[in-house]
């Protein structure tokens, strides 16, 4: 046996991986395949040996682009057991996207549908010796961004998740999200697995899955489920509710209007529905608020470990409105391959979110800095307009954005999905009675669907480009 392979760590000696309880298991609903603890160990150690033999040492990057969710998890753990760094990407990447990702992370191996294959070229030494996971947060358009985490940081996040949620709620989790970003991988899979639970993975849910969601929750006796608002809009429209409520439900990765929050709780049959706040840079969830503690749009509660601040007028403040800053034990190592890392005041991570912070650390999110619409110097948050429009009884979903204007610089535009006969003109007139004049949309379009990113968020860039062109 090659010396590198013989010196490789085992499953039970690898940080984080070794702490998985023997009751942990994963189930792929599409194929019916189940990996109990021992089968998982066997497959991981076999693949880890292949990786170690192929790279000849630790510290290399291994791109994981597996469509099969069980293969994805096995490859992730095997990369860690072999002492290397996993780069999780969307398996549907186009050729030019693969070129950009490869140029960014210079991997030694690529794991996809055909298994492991080498990637040509010499990889430079790692930027951080303890890098274990790189999550690519963009790359479809422009330069990909590789958020890099260590095993220690990931474990800190998972331990905080367990403390906030509890093992009982995590006993039988349903994951309807892809595993190549933090919400699906860390929140929906690794957290329940570390609790010793079973994770049922629903790969790429479609119309039949949405229509049968209530029955599926009952059949699997689901105790935990986390997804995005767009998932719930489809489920509420298509599926009867479950007979038995799941123990705990998280909704995150996009703004959650209170009306939708209440509808989800009613459908699920429980108030244990949490509006969660997280970001890839902090390895998943930062905080969460239960429905009966909401009281206002955007409430995401108090931090699950770490601390919130707001940055305003050049200084970090403990209360008030400003850009949200976070101190977290699960903070990323940095952005892989970035010439300049984002500067933070005194070790705080700037989130790019705008929020209002109370003295007791309760945070209410208002919008994103980059989604501000600059109307003659007055800033309007796109998320504010989204939630305004979604309060109208006929509006199912809204996506606001700035549209160019020679006089004001930008005006407010929006696209909506509706269930009714309301016209765009009637919606604009309704908005005038609900909100200040600056936030009233200048143009509204009605569409059958609103474009989504591969993470299930409204794709403002795509919708803006489409409707700006249509209105020109």
Q: C-alpha dihedral over 119, 190, 220, 261, to 10 degrees? A: -110
Domain final residue, candidates 327, 344, 369: 369
Distance CA 367, CA 458 (A): 14
Give the pLDDT score at 240.
97
Distance CA 359, CA 122 (A): 52
Q: Other CB atoms closer than 10 Å to residue 407's CB: what's the count?
A: 6
Instruction: Give the residue carrying structure tokens 């002492």.
Output: 83
Provide the β-strand partners of residue 146.
136, 336
One domain for residues 284 and 392: no
CB 311 within 8 A of CB 317: yes
Pick the closest to residue 314 from 325, 303, 306 (CA basis). Answer: 325
pTM: 0.84
Interhelix angle for 69-81 vs 37-55, to 10°?
Answer: 60
Structure token digits, residue 216? 């599926």
One domain for residues 69 and 100: yes
CB 144 within 8 A of CB 101: yes
CATH number at residue 453: 3.30.300.30
Distance CA 346, CA 305 (A): 18
Q: Is 292 helix (H, G, I), strand (E, B) or coil?
A: helix
Domain final residue, candidates 315, 338, 369: 369
One domain for residues 333 and 406: no
One domain for residues 306 and 441: no
One domain for residues 339 and 465: no
Distance CA 182, CA 153 (A): 13
One domain for residues 310 and 396: no
Do strands 172-175 and 224-227 pair parallel, antiparallel, or not at all (unpaired)?
A: parallel
Sequence-distant (≥ 6) Cβ neighbours of residue 403 within 8 angstroms: 410, 411, 412, 413, 442, 443, 464, 467, 468, 471
Phi, psi for residue 17 in degrees, rounded to 5: -60, -40
What is the span of the domain harbouring residue 413? 376-471
Distance CA 461, CA 422 (A): 25
One domain for residues 221 and 88: yes
One domain for residues 275 and 386: no
CATH number at residue 199: 3.40.50.12780
Phi, psi for residue 384 in degrees, rounded to 5: -60, -40
One domain for residues 351 and 397: no
Rounded to the nearest angstrom, the gap between the alpha carbon of residue 380 and the centroid of all alpha carbons in its chain is 25
Q: Is 210 helix (H, G, I), strand (E, B) or coil?
A: helix
Give the pLDDT score at 140.
38
One domain for residues 103 and 137: yes
Q: Is 33 helix (H, G, I), strand (E, B) or coil?
A: coil
Encode the chain (472 residues) as per-residue pLDDT tens digits: 455 565 678 999 999 999 999 999 999 999 999 999 999 999 999 999 999 999 987 889 999 999 999 999 999 999 999 999 999 998 988 887 888 888 889 999 999 988 999 997 666 666 789 999 999 875 434 567 899 999 999 999 999 999 999 999 999 999 999 999 899 999 999 999 999 999 999 999 999 999 999 999 999 999 999 998 889 988 999 999 999 999 999 998 888 888 889 999 999 999 999 999 998 999 999 999 998 655 578 899 999 999 999 998 888 999 999 999 999 999 999 988 776 565 566 778 999 899 999 999 999 998 888 888 888 777 788 888 998 898 899 999 999 999 988 777 889 999 999 998 899 999 999 999 888 788 899 999 999 999 988 777 888 989 999 999 999 8
Pick the closest to residue 363 from 416, 426, 421, 310 (CA basis). Answer: 310
Structure token digits, residue 181? 């970003």
CB 212 within 8 A of CB 242: no
Total domains in the chain come to 2
Q: Measured between alpha carbons, how far apart are the two ends of the chain, in Å?
A: 67
One domain for residues 327 and 408: no
List the Cα angle 289/292/296 in 5-degree steps.
70
Q: Is 311 helix (H, G, I), strand (E, B) or coil?
A: strand
| DSSP track, 161-204 | HHHHH-TTTTSEEEE-S-TTSHIIIIIIIIHHHHTT-EEEE--S
Domain final residue, candidates 345, 369, 393: 369
Radius of gyration of the chain (CA): 23
Distance CA 239, CA 288 (A): 26
Pick the closest to residue 249 from 278, 291, 283, 219 (CA basis). Answer: 291
One domain for residues 414 and 364: no
Q: Other CB atoms closer than 10 Å to residue 170's CB: what's the count?
A: 23
């Amino acid at each position: 046996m090659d010396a590198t392979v013989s010196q490789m760590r085992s499953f039970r000696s690898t940080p984080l991986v070794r702490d998985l309880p023997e009751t942990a298991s994963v189930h792929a609903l599409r194929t019916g395949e189940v990996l109990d603890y021992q089968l998982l160990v066997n497959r991981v150690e076999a693949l880890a040996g292949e990786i170690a033999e192929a790279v000849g040492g630790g510290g290399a990057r291994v791109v994981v682009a597996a469509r099969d969710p069980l293969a994805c998890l096995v490859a992730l753990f095997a990369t860690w057991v072999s002492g290397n760094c996993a780069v999780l990407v969307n398996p549907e990447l186009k050729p030019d996207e693969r070129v950009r990702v490869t140029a960014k992370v210079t991997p030694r191996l690529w794991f996809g549908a055909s298994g492991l294959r080498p990637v040509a070229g010499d990889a430079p030494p790692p930027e951080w010796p303890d890098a274990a996971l790189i999550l690519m947060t963009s790359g479809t358009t422009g330069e990909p961004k590789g958020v890099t985490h260590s095993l220690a940081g990931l474990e800190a996040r998972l331990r905080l998740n367990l403390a906030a949620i509890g093992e009982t709620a995590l006993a039988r989790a349903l994951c309807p999200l892809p595993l190549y970003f933090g919400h699906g991988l860390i929140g929906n899979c690794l957290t329940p697995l570390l609790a010793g639970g079973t994770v049922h993975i629903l790969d790429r849910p479609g119309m039949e899955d949405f229509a049968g969601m209530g029955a599926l929750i009952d059949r699997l006796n689901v105790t935990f489920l986390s997804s995005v608002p767009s998932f719930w809009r489809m489920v509420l429209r298509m599926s009867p509710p479950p007979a038995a409520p799941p123990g705990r439900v998280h909704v995150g990765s996009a703004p959650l209007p209170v009306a939708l929050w209440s509808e989800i709780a009613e459908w699920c049959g429980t108030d244990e529905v949490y509006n969660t706040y997280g970001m890839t840079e902090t390895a998943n969830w930062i905080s969460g608020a239960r429905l009966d503690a909401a009281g206002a749009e955007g409430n995401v509660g108090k931090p699950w470990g770490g601390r919130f601040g707001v940055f305003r007028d050049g200084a970090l403040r403990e209360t008030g409105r400003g850009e949200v800053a976070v101190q977290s034990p699960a903070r990323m190592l940095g952005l892989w391959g970035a010439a300049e890392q984002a500067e933070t005041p005194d070790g705080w991570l700037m989130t790019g979110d705008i929020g209002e912070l109370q003295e007791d650390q309760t945070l209410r999110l208002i919008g994103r800095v980059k989604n501000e619409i600059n109307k003659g110097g007055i800033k309007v948050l796109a998320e504010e307009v989204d939630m305004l429009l979604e309060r109208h009884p006929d509006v199912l979903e809204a996506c606001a954005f700035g549209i160019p204007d020679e006089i004001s610089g930008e005006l407010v535009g929006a696209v909506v999905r509706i269930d009714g006969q309301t016209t765009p003109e009637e919606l604009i007139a309704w908005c005038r009675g609900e909100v200040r004049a600056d936030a009233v949309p200048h143009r509204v379009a009605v569409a059958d669907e609103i474009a989504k990113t591969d993470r299930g968020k409204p794709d403002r860039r795509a919708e803006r480009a489409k409707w700006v062109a249509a209105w020109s």
